[in-house]
């Protein structure tokens, strides 16, 4: 069993697949902490989790003339200043269950929990690339390869634009710490890429090597997955070369409380949730409706860490305290967020449904009944 070495996991996680292990925190726990505890952080693995001996570990960075810069974990920690950043990771498949309800994609049915937030610590990728001999003016794409592989030897890989990697404002890390602890095995021990504002898939775990090339990574997950298509595109007609790989993500929000089909008491109601946008765009507002979108309330954005404009990598938790109008028997609670570019979420899933079931950013809807 190639999965025999997988680490133990927290029993509260909602498991979507055991081998490989894919799981999300239960809805009611998602927004309970600004920083998601490591054991509750969603876990998205395509392959068995590798076991890495940290003393034998070395990251291989290929320089501009082909020479290899090999860095041990100790060297990464000692030779480069430690940089910390709070960043939310979201899988492109977050909320796929709602897409599957429109038309089944036969892919992992994630609820609203394929998103979590942590404080990451590590070396800046920029500093490592400079050390390897690259210049700010260079271009292309930075390829990451993981140590996890399938039985045929295919390893997980992905790439990001060189520009994002080198930007002093991009905050891209080679992270060895998560919420002040050593990076857990499920999250890429001993080293992973953290690419703030960018889809989870590019945040490669168990980093083995970094290379820079004119073109994007040839990896399956860069070329044949994690792309968005028109609802008109089918598996028969899809042309993967036609769509760009997802990097930045659209504005997103979801209701974590109350739960779907709960029965809430009449009177005062508290609605809770999260909101986030890609590319460092700040969430400026969250609107909540109790009647399916006919009338709206503005949610309270909970106090959070200050992040500089255009580098707002962490999510925004929110809350609404509201009086349920008398005589209400049931409610369609809806939330939608607005980011600093005034991007908004589409009201339904159908027009953004796609064969891969990615990028579901439709208004999140929770139907509840009101009663004793
Ligand atoms: N890196 C490797 N090496 N292998 C993987 O399977 N999954 C990616 C990314 N990095 C993956 C990986 C995907 S699709 C996501 S959403 C994030 O890791 C999930 O990170 P997490 O498990 O720390 O939440
Ligand atoms: Mo993902």
pLDDT tens digits for range 138-152: 999 999 999 999 999
* Predicted confidence band of residue 137 (pLDDT cuts 50, 70, 90): very high
Share of the chain above pLDDT 90, in %: 100
Class of domain 252-370: mainly beta
Nearest in space to 324 (alpha carbons), one of 263, 369, 280, 269: 269
At residue 83, the pLDDT reads 98
Mean pLDDT in residue range 169-198: 98
Could you identify the atom of ligand 1 that is nearest to the CA of residue 221? 14
Mean pLDDT in residue range 85-94: 98
Average per-residue pLDDT for the chain: 98
Fold of the 14-242 domain: Sulfite Oxidase; Chain A, domain 2 (3.90.420)
140 exposed, middle or buried (CB, 10 Å; 0-12, 13-18, 19+)? middle
At residue 134, the pLDDT reads 98
Cα 150 to Cα 219: distance, rounded to the nearest angstrom: 13
At residue 27, the pLDDT reads 96
At residue 211, the pLDDT reads 98
**What's the full length of the chain, in residues?**
372
DSSP structural state of residue 241:
G
Mean pLDDT in residue range 339-364: 98
**Statement: residue 167 has pLDDT above 90:** yes
Backbone angles phi, psi at 231, to 5 degrees: -60, -15
Probe residue for ligand 1, chosen from 179, 201, 247, 276 as the CB with the greatest number of ligand atoms within 8 Å: 201
Summarize the chain as % helix, strand, coil (round to 5): 10, 35, 50
At residue 326, the pLDDT reads 95
In the structure encoding, which two tokens stand for residue 265, read together?
């008491």
* Predicted confidence band of residue 25 (pLDDT cuts 50, 70, 90): very high
**Statement: residue 285 has pLDDT above 90:** yes
Ligand 1 surroundings by CB, under 6 angstroms: 41-47, 89, 91, 146, 148, 156, 187, 200-201, 203-206
Rounded to whole angstroms, the maximal C-alpha distance in the chain is: 73
pLDDT digits (tens, 9 = 90+) for 104-135: 999 999 999 999 999 999 999 999 999 999 99
Element (H, E) at 348: none
* Predicted confidence band of residue 69 (pLDDT cuts 50, 70, 90): very high
At residue 369, the pLDDT reads 98
**Statement: residue 100 has pLDDT above 90:** yes
Are 14-242 and 252-370 in the same CATH fold? Answer: no
Cα 286 to Cα 273: distance, rounded to the nearest angstrom: 10
Opening angle at CA 201, ends 140 and 16, nearest 5: 170
Domain ranges within the chain, ordered by starting residue: 14-242, 252-370
**Statement: residue 253 has pLDDT above 90:** yes
- In three state form, how does the secondary structure of 291-337 look? ECCCCCEECEECCCCCCCCCCCCCCEEEEEEEECCCCCCEEEEEEEE
Which residues sit with Cβ closer than 5 angstroms to ligand 2, an ion? 44, 91, 200-201
Probe residue for ligand 1, chosen from 50, 89, 205 as the CB with the greatest number of ligand atoms within 8 Å: 205
Probe residue for ligand 1, chosen from 16, 40, 44 as the CB with the greatest number of ligand atoms within 8 Å: 44
At residue 193, the pLDDT reads 99
Mean pLDDT in residue range 162-168: 98
Cα 28 to Cα 90: distance, rounded to the nearest angstrom: 18
DSSP structural state of residue 225:
S
At residue 230, the pLDDT reads 98
Output the CA 90–ligand 1 centroid distance in Å: 10
Residue 147 Cα distances to 35, 49, 175, angstroms:
27, 9, 15
Distance of CA 227 to the CA centre of its chain: 15
β-pairing, 283-289 vs 115-124, is unpaired
pLDDT digits (tens, 9 = 90+) for 50-65: 999 999 999 999 999 9
Cα 249 to Cα 169: distance, rounded to the nearest angstrom: 17
Instruction: List, in sequence order, the alpha helices (H) in 231-278.
Output: none
DSSP structural state of residue 359:
-
Residue 233 CB neighbour total at 10 angstroms: 16
pLDDT digits (tens, 9 = 90+) for 203-241: 999 999 999 999 999 999 999 999 999 999 999 999 999
**Statement: residue 372 has pLDDT above 90:** no
For atom 21 of ligand 1, the residue with the nearest CA is 43
Mean pLDDT in residue range 168-187: 98
């Amino acid at each position: 069993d190639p999965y025999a070495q997988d680490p133990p996991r927290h029993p509260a996680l909602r498991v979507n697949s055991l081998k490989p292990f894919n799981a999300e925190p239960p809805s009611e726990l998602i927004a309970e902490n600004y920083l998601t505890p490591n054991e509750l952080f969603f876990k998205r693995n395509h392959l068995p989790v590798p076991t890495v001996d940290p003393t034998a570990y070395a990251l291989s960075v290929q320089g501009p003339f082909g020479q290899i810069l090999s860095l041990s974990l100790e060297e990464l920690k000692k030779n480069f200043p430690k940089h910390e950043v709070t960043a939310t990771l979201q899988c492109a498949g977050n909320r796929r269950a709602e897409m599957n309800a429109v038309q089944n994609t036969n892919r992992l049915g994630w609820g609203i929990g394929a998103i979590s937030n942590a404080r990451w610590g590590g070396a800046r990728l920029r500093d490592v690339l400079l050390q390897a001999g690259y210049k700010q003016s260079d271009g292309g794409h930075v390829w990451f390869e993981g140590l996890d592989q399938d039985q045929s030897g295919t390893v997980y890989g992905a790439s990001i634009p060189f520009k994002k990697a080198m930007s002093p404002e991009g905050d891209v890390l080679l992270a060895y710490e998560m919420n002040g602890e050593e990076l857990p095995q499920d999250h890429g021990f001993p080293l992973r890429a953290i690419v703030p504002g960018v889809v989870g898939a590019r945040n490669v775990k168990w980093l083995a090597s970094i290379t820079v090339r004119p073109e994007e990574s040839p990896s399956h997950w860069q070329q044949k997955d994690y792309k968005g298509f028109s609802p008109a595109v089918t598996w028969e007609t899809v042309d993967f070369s036609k769509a760009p790989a997802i990097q930045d993500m659209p504005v997103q929000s979801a209701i974590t409380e109350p739960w779907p089909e709960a029965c809430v008491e009449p009177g005062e109601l508290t609605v809770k949730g999260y909101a986030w946008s890609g590319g460092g765009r700040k969430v400026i507002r969250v609107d909540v409706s109790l009647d399916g979108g006919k009338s709206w309330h503005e949610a309270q954005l909970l106090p959070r860490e200050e992040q500089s404009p255009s580098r707002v990598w962490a999510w925004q938790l929110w809350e609404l305290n509201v009086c349920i109008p008398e005589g209400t028997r049931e409610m369609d609670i809806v939330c939608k967020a607005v980011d600093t570019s005034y991007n908004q979420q589409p009201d339904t899933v159908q027009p953004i449904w796609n064969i891969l079931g990615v990028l579901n950013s439709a208004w999140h809807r929770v139907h509840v009944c009101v009663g004793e």
